[in-house]
Amino acid sequence: MMKVDFAAWKHYFLQNQQNLRAIDWADSYRLTEAERACIRTSIQQFQLGESSEGKHLIHQAKRYAERTGHHDYYEAVTAFIREEQRHARDLARFMKGQQLPSIRGHWVDHVFRKLRQFAGLELSVMVLITAEIIAKVYYIALQRSTKSKMLQDLCDQILQDEEKHVEFQSETLYKLGEGRLSVVNRAYRLAHRVLLEGTLVVVWHQHRTVFQAGGYRFRDFLAACRQEFRLSGSIAAWVTRTGRTYEG
């Protein structure tokens, strides 16, 4: 049986802060009117989504640590939240330089926050990993939709981070389902798939201009996100088969 190493994840998140990609914040490129029209409302929403303080998740992680003794998980989660907040700060910095104002709220973000607010740890992680799976496709599309080197480099950094975020949340879900009947875990996985499918329709409707500019048709977007979902479900199984230990 796999041993999920939360201490290694804590170490990764702390070390990652020292290994960030170089971003040229002095880049003078100005978005064209077409680029601004394409990404404006979309990047505003994603920046808002990245800016969560994560209070509910941190509270749930603390309760889990107190109940199980896995205190490294609590510390890993707090470091993970700081990484998400860095994404929000960096996106806001880019937006400010391009005179794209941040927004204080949006109904999609409100729904996701409410889901997490009334959820236990496992559902909170499901909601998070759903957003991160979609983000892995979104930031590829955003990167392709602009000639701004600054934004392209920023997308590179976020994509690098999101790759590990999905792994972290996948291993967490594996740990939370450890010891349960396989039929119960399959039911949880089905519920997660339903959540993903519903979210995909909403996200496409809200951000289709960016996805289309990045070369995704609706069916391409669905296929890419579903592939990321399948990969996220196979991470823990792969770790179990290979006995891999996380090295960062």
CA 170 to chain centre: 12
At 195-219, the pLDDT tens digits run 999 999 999 999 999 999 999 999 9
What fold does the segment set 7-12+33-102+118-239 form as a domain? Ferritin (1.20.1260)
Yes or no: say if 216 and 224 are a contact pair by the CB < 8 Å rule.
Answer: yes
Whole-model pTM: value is: 0.89
End-to-end CA distance of the chain: 21
At 110-128, the pLDDT tens digits run 666 666 666 689 999 999 9
Q: How far apart are CA 234 and CA 200, in angstroms?
A: 20
Average the pLDDT over each of 61-75, 79-93, 210-224, 232-246 and give the range with the smallest value. 232-246
Q: How far apart are CA 106 and CA 135, in angstroms?
A: 17
Among 31, 77, 29, residue whose Cα is nearest residue 54: 77
At 148-193, the pLDDT tens digits run 999 999 999 999 999 999 999 999 999 999 888 989 988 999 999 9
**Extents of the domains making up the chain:** 7-12+33-102+118-239
Whether the predicted pLDDT of 241 surpasses 80: no
Confidence tier at 51 by pLDDT (50, 70, 90):
confident
Whether the predicted pLDDT of 97 surpasses 50: yes
Q: What is the mean pLDDT of residues 56-62?
A: 92
- Looking at residue 163, its pLDDT comes to 95
Yes or no: say if 211 and 138 are a contact pair by the CB < 8 Å rule.
Answer: yes
Q: Which two tokens stand for residue 245?
A: 């230990």
